Amino acid sequence: MGSLLEVIMINQQRLVDHFVDLVKIDSESGNEKAIATELATQLEAMNFTVHRLPVPEDLSNGFNLYARLEGTLPGSTVLSCHMDTVKPGIGIEPVIEGDIITSAGNTILGGDDKSGISAIIEAIRSIQADGKAHKTIEIAFTVFEEGGLRGSKVFDMSYITSPQALVFDSGGQIGKIITQAPGQQSIKVTITGRPAHAGLAPEEGINAMVVASEAITKMKLSRIDHETTANIGIVQGGQATNIVMPEMYIAAEARSLNDDKLAAQTAHMIDTFEAAAKAHGAEITIDSQRAYNAFTLEDSDPLVQSVIETFESIGIEPQTASTGGGSDANVFTAKGLKTVNLSTGMSKVHTTEEFIKISDMVKISDFIYAYLTR
């Protein structure tokens, strides 16, 4: 262990400078052209063969990014992150205080997922500076991960030759290995009632809000069990207080680590909406779509074992875990690419209080260096 620790010389200042530069590039979902172009240029300068993979114009003004660097050690691995951020992510001003990087407080930081991108690139730059032999490296950077994993769904997998991938898109302590993540069902409901004057003839109307309220009060939501959750996220409707609400739109979701439980929760939600609509004489349309599938890898899986051994070799305690969130790992797994999701130490993501520790960014960079050169 000692000798391996000695040869890993991550350039912390270069890592931090690069991360700061990346988070300053606006890249809210759908607006990834600038960040994708910059990363393509950087990877080409590092002698990668780079392919700018087109995506539908209504998805992004940018492109998915595939890059490849041949190695001399046996084996190959895909390293993956997403390039987009959630809102508010325009004009990010990173603030460094000791070991902590935050935003100025009016935006997110963008460590989700630019901490992963900067760690990957710093590890490879350090490997090249040290002249170390490494495995073949494949890079898969995606657009529009936030809000549906949409970039990975259209990623051209024909470029990828490795049988395995590491996604760097999770929080928690360094060493956390996500080996189980839920599937998600998207449920979009439109309830159509009947308008009427709320003061003169309310009994002639059918209030879509009343229908929705009755359904939702009878619905199992929030934490269903240790594997399953459900949520009503968007409710839109109404024209004026003197009109019985004629229509309401509701967007909901269900998630579970267990496919049977996900199917059962989805059916329960749909049945409850339909029963309420029928009871009030309202019309209802429901669009139920699988957003992404669950995945599970056993701790004994060779990919998981290789990650565990690498963490241990640099003195970091590994821990396999399940998560309630989806990532590109779900999509890549469904496409036949065995994938785990690793923590970069990002904290309070999707909020203006987001932060990351510099020491954690160094540790995950150390891991990538060790994994590629083992």
The residues assigned a catalytic role are 84, 145
Helices H / strands E in the chain, number of each = 10, 17
Q: DSSP readout, 47-72? A: T-EEEEE---TTT-SS-EEEEEE--S
Q: Which residues of 66-85 are buried (b: 16+ CB within 10 A; e: fewer)?
A: bbbbebeeeebbbbbbbbbb
With beta carbons less than 8 A apart as the criterion, state whether 366 and 119 touch. Answer: no
The answer to whether the beta carbons of residues 288 and 187 sit under 8 Å apart is yes
Token readout for 212 is 């929705």
Query: Which residues, in sequence order, are CB contacts of 205 under 8 Å at separation 6+?
Result: 193, 194, 195, 196, 198, 244, 246
**Contacts (Cβ under 8 Å, ≥6 apart) of 45:** none
CB 84 within 8 A of CB 149: no
* In the block, residue with structure tokens 């999509």: 331
> Is 69:47 a contact under the CB 8 Å cutoff?
yes
Task: Please tell me whether the peptide bond between 113 and the residue prior to it is cis, using omega within 30 degrees of 0.
Answer: yes
